[in-house]
Amino acid sequence: MKCISIWGFMGAGKSTVGRALARTYAWKWLDSDTEIEKQEQLKIPDIFKRYGEEYFRQLETRFLENLWNRMQSEPQASEWLVLTTGGGMPLREENRQWLKKLGISIYLHVPFDTIAKRLNRRDSQRPLWDGSQLEVMRRKYEARLPSYRQADVVMEVQGKSVEEIVQELG
């Protein structure tokens, strides 16, 4: 089994695209945040509140190591797994290396202003998004771009429907 990991900033639509991609091709879908929440029996904001960001980042790296080990022990050569990542996962060099080892990586690029509109519209449960600090958020977004751009595929998704994105990726 090989893994297609979907990278992108918060609100880029990673889960929506990942779920649709997996459903279209009858592949498996895993979401790193959901898996970490299950394992810790805590929601992401509570993990941040109780233990801080660094601890969460360690959980992300451990999740990737475990996934790699699982994939070695259950090889199913023909099957793809879609992995939607938390927005900060590809920032660590070590995590990018795991993600590359696991398979193909795809970065969904959405301009900052669209992200800001989306996240401010929703009642966001994201500990690292503060809609009242847009310039700080813009700098965070810009600082992350060089890491995201190291994905194997950089995809502009602005203005495309989920169906169009899935078709392009397929």
Q: Is 122 annotated as a binding residue?
A: no
Q: Is 5 annotated as a binding residue?
A: no
Length of the chain, please? 170
Q: CA 96, CA 33: separation in Å to the nearest integer?
A: 16
What three-state secondary structure class fits 126? coil
As to burial, measured by CB atoms within 10 angstroms (0-12 exposed, 13-18 middle, 19+ buried), residue 120 is middle
Residue selected from 3, 4, 10, 151 as contacting ligand S3P according to rule CB under 6 A? 10
Nearer to ligand S3P, 102 or 137 (CB): 137
Tell me the window of 22-30, 100-108, 123-131, 155-163 that interacts with ligand S3P (CB under 6 A): 123-131
Residues 6+ apart with CB under 8 A from 152: 100, 104, 105, 106
The residues pairing with 82 across neighbouring beta strands, listed in sequence order, are: 4, 29
Binding mask of the shown chain, residues 45 to 84, with x at each position contacting ligand S3P by CB under 6 A: ----------------------------------------
Residue ranges binding ligand S3P (CB under 6 A): 10, 14, 33, 44, 86-88, 126-128
Residues marked as binding? 11-16, 33, 57, 87, 126, 144
